[in-house]
Every structure is written in C-alpha cells, then in structure tokens.
Amino acid sequence: MDEVIQVTQWLSSITPRKKAKLFFFTTHADTPSPMVGSNDVDTHEETQLPLATTVALHNFKNIDEFLKKKVNTFSCYNVIENEITKTDYEYLRFYSACKYLDVVPPFLDLEKISAIQNKFEMTDEERDYRLLLDSADLVLEKVCDYLEPAGVSQMWTALRKDRNLIRGVKTIDIIGFFVDPNPTGIKECLFFFIVRFLQKADKINRVNTNRLERLIAQCDESSSCEEGKTIDFIIDSLRFYPTELYPFGFCLIMCVIEGRDGAMQEIEKTMEISRHLGMITHTEKNPTKETIELVKKELMKPKYQFYSSFACWFMSHGDSNSMVLADGETIEREWFLTSFPDISTFQLKPQVFFMVSCRGANKFSLKGDEFEGQSATCDYYDIGSALIRNRMLDITDSVRDISYVQPMMDTLVAYSTILDHLSGRANTHGSIYVDRACVLMSENISRGRSLTEILEHLSQDLHEILQETMDEDRIVYKQACHYDSFFRKTLKLPYTRHPKEDVHSAPQ
C-alpha cells in the first residue's frame, strides 16, 4: 500500500483528543539542544502555532500536517552509528507516545528504534517504552484530564490579562480572547498551548509550576473541575515530583564488603526494595575512588536523562568527615555528596542519598541495671486569608527566576546516624538502619506516603531500638538518624511496579 495512504488512514483512526496528546508528548519541552543535526531554528512556531490554529479554527489540519511531517522524517531517516542526534530523541519520544496512547503506526520501523536504543547503550530493562515518556508531561496530561473545558477557558482568560507576559506574542493573538473549548480535543489543545507557552517563556518547568498553579487557582470550582475533583486536588497533583509510570528512577548501590559483617545482606535488601519500588538498579561492590569516577562518567551518558529520579546507597565504615573505601583509602563525604548533583542528566529531578556509615565514635549510651543484657543488634499564603496576605510582601513575577538553580536543590541526604556518632550493625544482617529503612519503604508502597514521611517514621523506629557495642565493654546505646532536604516538591513512593508486565491502560 502507498505510504501516503497508510499515513492518511492512520491519522483518520486517531481521535482528536489523542492527536492533541500525541502532539504534546512529541513536542517535548526539554529535548536537549543544540544537538547533532539541529539547525538551531527557534521551535516556538513548531510547537505552538499548530495548537494555536487548531484552537482558533476548530480544525486539526495543522496538527495532522505536523504528524505527517514527523512520520515522513522518520521514514527517510538513516540511523548514524555512534552519533546521537536530535532526530534520535524525537524518534524515541514519538514512538513512546504512540505506544502509550495505543496509536502506533503499523508502518513504523521498529528496527530503527532498536538501532537508536543501541546508540544510547540501553539495557533490556531500559528498552521499556515507559522509560522514554517524560513523567512531567504525564502529570500535565492528568491535570488536563481533571479540568472541564470551562476551567481551561478560565485559565486562558487569566493568562490573557497578564499584559507583560503576552505582549508581542503572535500565537496569543491567533487564538483571540474568547475561546470555545467544548469541541472534542480543543480543550486539550488550549491547555497544552498554555503549558508550552509558559515553558518557552521560562515561567514553569518540571519543578517550578507556581505560575501554572496560580492560573488554576483562579478558576471557578463549580464549573472547572471534572466530577469528584477540586481545585485544591488539581493543584496538589502539581506539588509532587513527577515520577509517573515505570521506572521510578535509577538506583546506584555502593557497598564496601571488606571488614563489614552482613554487608551482602545490605546489598540484597537495598536491591530488593529498589526493584520493588520500580527502580532500575546498578550495584558496585567494594568501590574505590576510581570506581566512583567511572560511575559518575557513566551517569553523564544521554540515556540517563530519561530517568525521573536518582537514588544512591553508600555503605561503608566512616568518621565525622570521611568514608572508608575498599582499598583503605578515604573520601570526603562532602565531596561525594556535592559531586553527583552536578550531573546534568538528573538536574531538576529528585536525588536521594542514603549515607550508611559511622560519623564518629560517640554513643548515646544508656546506663542502669534495667538496660543490661538488652539490645537488638498548609500553604504559607492561604488564598482566602486576605488579612494575612495584606501584611506580606508582594512578590511579583519580575523578581522571580527559575533559570538558575543551586546544584544541591532537589537533593535529599539521609544519614544513618548523627555527626560524631556510631552507626550500629548486626553481625549477620549488616546495618540496622538499612534493614529498618527497607522494611518501612516496603510496607508503605501503595499507601500514598512520601519519602520524608517514611524517613520520619524511620527516625522514630530506629531510636526505639536498643543496640550493644561489639567490644568487651558491651555498652548499650541508641542510634539517631536524620536527613537534610533541599527538595522543592514532595517525593511520593510509587505504587508497586511490575516492570516485565504491560500495566498500561490506553488513555482516551
């Protein structure tokens, strides 16, 4: 069959809502640029003009033309070995979006997709199409689904009132002031236009969504939300780190085995909980400084930008400032913690570090006969609180910026013990902190708990346990853990994931 006819038939089989979503996912805002093969042309017209004309004319002709052009580009594309191009990213994004929406063209060359994945050095686990979807876009898709056409129309009206933001933007004028978002697919096009416009204007990104939240907050709840949803519910959905679908993230486990009883148990537990959380896991036993440098270099590879989060377990002996490596050398804990957040592939994504080592020799020891022989080795600005708001600073958009970010932002560091103190172990099971952390995370999957809630529970749980030193003094003591958080959103544990099963239910 002629390819033109095939493309036409394929497009005619896709609903308007799915066309809008396919366009949105395909014009992903964070595609690396400049890339090999990129002509550095401003993508403003490409990503916003088709949405604007579709909303204005109630006609999907320009989106159809865009999708045809993509298909033709991929059809003629020759995969170049060793060189990752902008088209490689676009091809993978297009394929994953089609797979997610259940609209994969029957004529799409899957061998080319496999060849591109080879260039990214993807493992079998990483070839799951869900990894290629951008989790932030998936959250925005849900927000769109939660809103009624009237709600999106009210967002548009609020946006149009911001003269400084829209001044000189031609696509804004194409849509006009008053919009009828009720025809099928038009609500989605208008919402996705608003999102891409705010992203291109550098007003929102995958972490900073305040500007979008403020538009939603101006909607009338009685007419703007799908049944069973509220404005607060919709806004709250934007206040979590986007970690939709599988995998939840990438987990690096580094464990010094030499001279640490129970270390293999630590590895088994952390691997099990990481996989249960739906993370793709890599383990380094007996790491050295050279190992750490090699891992950092590996994590800079382009494929890691597809991950939604990063977690690292580092388990070794240590003191107040440093950690002991397998070869007896030490590294500064601060150096380790500040070197990973600089890796560009995980910027604007949650990074969690579990640092399991002693930080000194002090003990919170318990004295007394009864202990002998006992051991177990609301928003700041309330929208309705006008009186309070009137006494607060008026922070305007002109003094806000989301472009420059401190490297440690979106990072959480969890310590197994407090400064200058021991971190307890059991002879056969290794770190007690690792054991309790894995148990509590496992128990709270699918309960909607955030990571910080679990760490607070862990702090309580660990501090109840009586431990005993391994030396001849046999001192009974307690251990206190803590964490330092630079998070800007809440990181929720995922529901149980089954990476080898297709859990996808195609959106409407």
Domain co-membership, 277 together with 229: no
Q: Locate tokens 């202990």: which residue?
A: 371
Domain co-membership, 72 together with 205: yes
- How many CA within 13 A on the CB side of residue 498? 4
Sign of the Cα torsion 10, 15, 21, 27 reads positive
The mean per-residue pLDDT over the stretch 271-288 comes to 93
Domain co-membership, 225 together with 255: no
pLDDT class for 194, splitting at 50, 70, 90?
very high
Instruction: Report which of 349, 303, 280 is spatially closest to residue 89, judged by C-alpha positions.
Output: 303
Q: Locate tokens 């690292």: which residue?
A: 312
Task: Please indicate, yes or no, if residue 35 is contained in any of the structural domains.
Answer: no
Instruction: Check residue 372 and give its pLDDT.
Output: 54
Sign of the Cα torsion 118, 121, 124, 127 reads negative
**Host domain of residue 482:** 249-364+407-486
Sequence-ordered alpha helix ranges (H) in 80-185: 86-101, 110-119, 129-132, 135-146, 149-160, 163-166, 170-175
Identity at 91, one-letter amino acid code? Y
Domain co-membership, 347 together with 199: no
Q: What's the number of domains the chain is made of?
A: 2
Task: Please indicate, yes or no, if residue 397 is contained in any of the structural domains.
Answer: no
The mean per-residue pLDDT over the stretch 231-251 comes to 91
Instruction: Check residue 29 and give its pLDDT.
Output: 55
Residue 352 and residue 248: Cα distance in Å, rounded? 13
Longest dimension (CA), the chain: 89
- How many CA within 13 A on the CB side of residue 66? 24
With a CB cutoff of 8 Å and minimum separation 6, the contacts of 427 are 261, 262, 377, 470
Domain co-membership, 287 together with 150: no
Instruction: Kindly report the length of the chain.
Output: 508
Task: Please indicate, yes or no, if residue 452 is contained in any of the structural domains.
Answer: yes
231 has pLDDT over 70 = yes
Q: Are 316 and 253 in contact (CB under 8 A)?
A: no
Q: In CATH, what number is assigned to the domain containing residue 470?
A: 3.40.50.1460
Q: How far is CA 394 from CA 210, 388, 403, in A?
A: 15, 12, 21
| pTM recorded for the entire structure | 0.85
Residue 90 and residue 100: Cα distance in Å, rounded? 15
Q: Are 30 and 93 in contact (CB under 8 A)?
A: no
Please confirm whether the linkage preceding 494 is cis (ω < 30° from 0). Answer: no
Mean per-residue pLDDT over the chain, rounded: 86
Q: Which of 219, 239, 259 is the last residue of a domain?
A: 239
276 compared with 255, residue with greater pLDDT: 255
The mean per-residue pLDDT over the stretch 297-320 comes to 94
Domain co-membership, 314 together with 446: yes
Task: Please indicate, yes or no, if residue 261 is contained in any of the structural domains.
Answer: yes
Q: Are 431 and 269 in contact (CB under 8 A)?
A: no
Domain co-membership, 294 together with 432: yes
Instruction: Check residue 44 and give its pLDDT.
Output: 56
11 has pLDDT over 50 = yes
- DSSP character string of 364-401: EE--SGGGTT------SS-TT-HHHHHTS----GGG--
Domain co-membership, 476 together with 413: yes
The mean per-residue pLDDT over the stretch 59-88 comes to 91
Instruction: Check residue 454 and give its pLDDT.
Output: 93
Residue 261 and residue 495: Cα distance in Å, rounded? 33
The mean per-residue pLDDT over the stretch 87-116 comes to 93
Task: Please indicate, yes or no, if residue 391 is contained in any of the structural domains.
Answer: no
